[in-house]
Amino acid sequence: MGPSVILLGLVSALAWGAGDFGGGTLARRAPLLGVVLGTQLVGLVLALVLGLARGEQAPHGADLGWSVAAGFAGVLGISALYRGLAVGRMGVVAPTTGVLAAVIPVVVGFATEGVPDPMVVAGIVTALVAVVLVTRAPTHEDDERPSGAGWALLSGVMIGLFNVCIGQLSGDGALLPLVVVRLVQSVCLVAAILLLRQPWRVDRDLLPKLVLVGVLDMTGNAAFILAAQTGQLAIAAVLSSLYPVTTVILAVALLRERVTRGHLVGIGLTAVAIVLIGLGTATL
């Protein structure tokens, strides 16, 4: 185990965080469902090409089942998250979703693989606190809005289950299972667009950015799968859950968004968590 799971988990966090930042900015200029669908199709094509180039076998048996389940859980989780952010308060929705998405695979990992070294557990707890601090937005005057807690709970549970599902994949491949995941999600999104008659067309000048977001999202998923296959699911899940740190740093650097004291403390705790997990896994 050791350094590989840490490196892959952090690559997942960096890619997911950058992808979320790019997707969020794109969604301000294009229909949300069109952006999500486009990124899923980009990831599908890229995963298919690279998976075949690596000589991976098509997922079958349990791997196929876990991939399909991950597709359904993922599309429900993302849809509920965006719905919650739209109708509720970000200060409630974001941290609730982030913590649940990390805690569920951690609990499953503890139950199926055993509790890791105490220093690793301390690092996991520190990382969860960091996620809360980094994702929690300042309180605004529009607190009369619904909290969005229901959508946040649904989103957190579904994204957590998505991480559990793809964390169960065997070591036979990481990319072709993602083709199945992306295919299931794309079919669900197309059905939603047609049934609900939602706008979906993305302007051509935004397509390069959409492709980049799709590549980043696919990279994050592939890195997480490999991390879970290399080491313990709990460690892979909590390290990848640090993706909001990347998003916040990019928002501050590129959009000049205000960084709060809580953000700074959360970013600092992220470094502490990584060191604790690294020291703990080095002894395993």
Give pLDDT tens digits for 83-136. 786 677 766 777 788 888 888 998 898 998 888 889 889 999 999 898 888 877
Mean pLDDT across 211-240? 91
Instruction: Find the range with the poorest average confidence among 44-58, 66-80, 240-254.
Output: 240-254
125 vs 13: CA distance, rounded Å: 17
pLDDT at 166 over 50: yes
Q: What is the mean pLDDT of the chain?
A: 87
113 vs 17: CA distance, rounded Å: 27
- The domain total for the chain is 1
Q: Which domain holds residue 148?
A: 3-282
Confidence of residue 7 (pLDDT cuts 50, 70, 90): very high
Q: Encode pLDDT of 9-68 as tens digits.
A: 999 999 998 988 888 788 778 888 898 899 999 999 999 999 999 999 899 999 999 999
